[in-house]
Structure 1
């Protein structure tokens, strides 16, 4: 076997893995994967500990690519928090769309509640959410405010999971319903956070009711 040392990196291994999976060549183990790509098994472990961590890296890389795209715009840093999160969602799901077949294979048939493949994405997203300058209620107590911030970050994560699940089930052209879901749910969330009008909340509620209770 001749290891292709000059071309090996995490992204190359990820590309091989995605191609294998989408062409019905799902590797049974690291040895089989390494054999198929003329790679020494020991070389594989320089980058990943097992095959599942390749999928973990896929979602991390997608998240990082999304942030790079957003931060390349000078205007992004000037956006209010709501516009930042909307920009994140639209960019992230556009990146997901380019890899939809792999995402469907990876997590499409599973519950998104405690998915190990999304651990890296979760960590990055929670850090991102915590750094957004979202106006929050001041409870005048440090411990309560800290707990509130944690709850908000976790809520943002579960919202991302819910949006991901909605997108995986979305059969509309160009996934237009997911765009509507993102806009209405983010607007509703910020209305609740800021304790202001409930118009967007009601609007989102009507959309969800219509989607899950179609007229026969």
Structure 2
């Protein structure tokens, strides 16, 4: 009896790619090899992706899209302020990463050139900045129209840098259930919002103490 052919979709290709990478401890060498090993044609592959690198970028974009889907299922989410929405995003996103930690760690630490590794996040970056734009409220904007668009871009870029710092911390976090990453998220998000106000010094000192303590423990 012939085996029923799996319907090839964007999601199935992503799943196959992640599985291959984890099982072989390396990425596929070519589209031809990858397609043949998984029982579909190159033509089917190119219906969804232009090359293997585009799958890597799509994986992280899918993590973000799933995160937004999940946080929007919370009936109270729309009533949250910007800070609460961002915290909700962070905690949900890093829960998804934790469920796929083996792949994420392998893919983001594969190359000694960190810039090359970060290229996988280029699509995620654009979607993340769009998310920040959507949740940015008038309370955190300067109400001068001439500088507002520049401020919005600054908020998005700052949020992205903060996200990368959080991702780096998570990749190095060996605490149970990544508890230290949760603390990092809470303190860094709190600090970023207080820096928009006039009295950030207490949060800055608190966050600095946390980072210093972690570095001391890492180096001891």
Relative to the length of structure 1, the TM-score reads 0.91
Match of 1:13 in 2: 13
Match of 1:165 in 2: 168
Asked if the contact 1:136/1:193 (under 8 Å) is kept, the reply is yes
Alignment of 1:3-42 (within 5 A): 7-24=7-24, 26-42=27-43
- Which structure 2 segments of 5+ residues have no match? none
Asked if the contact 1:112/1:161 (under 8 Å) is kept, the reply is no
- C-alpha displacement at 1:149, in angstroms? 1.5
Structure 1 vs Structure 2 CA RMSD:
2.2
- Structure 2 CA distance, aligned partners of 1:184 and 1:100? 23
> Judging changes above 3 Å, is the alpha-carbon distance between structure 1 residues 212 and 151 closer, same or farther for their aligned structure 2 residues?
same
- Structure 1 CA distance, aligned partners of 2:151 and 2:116? 21
Matched positions, count: 214
> Judging changes above 3 Å, is the alpha-carbon distance between structure 1 residues 13 and 70 closer, same or farther for their aligned structure 2 residues?
same
Alignment of 1:77-92 (within 5 A): 77-92=78-93
Match of 1:105 in 2: 106
- Structure 1 CA distance, aligned partners of 2:9 and 2:185? 34
Higher mean displacement: 191-200 or 145-154: 191-200
- C-alpha displacement at 1:168, in angstroms? 0.3
Stretches (4+) displaced over 4 A: none
User: Is 2:86 the partner of 1:69?
Assistant: no
Deviations 1:80-122 (CA, angstroms, capped at 9, x unpaired)? 1111100000000000000000001111355268822112211
Structure with greater helix percent: 2
Relative to the length of structure 2, the TM-score reads 0.90
- Structure 2 CA distance, aligned partners of 1:112 and 1:92? 22
- Structure 2 CA distance, aligned partners of 1:49 and 1:10? 12
- Structure 1 CA distance, aligned partners of 2:168 and 2:116? 10
Asked if the contact 2:91/2:182 (under 8 Å) is kept, the reply is yes
- Which structure 1 segments of 5+ residues have no match? none
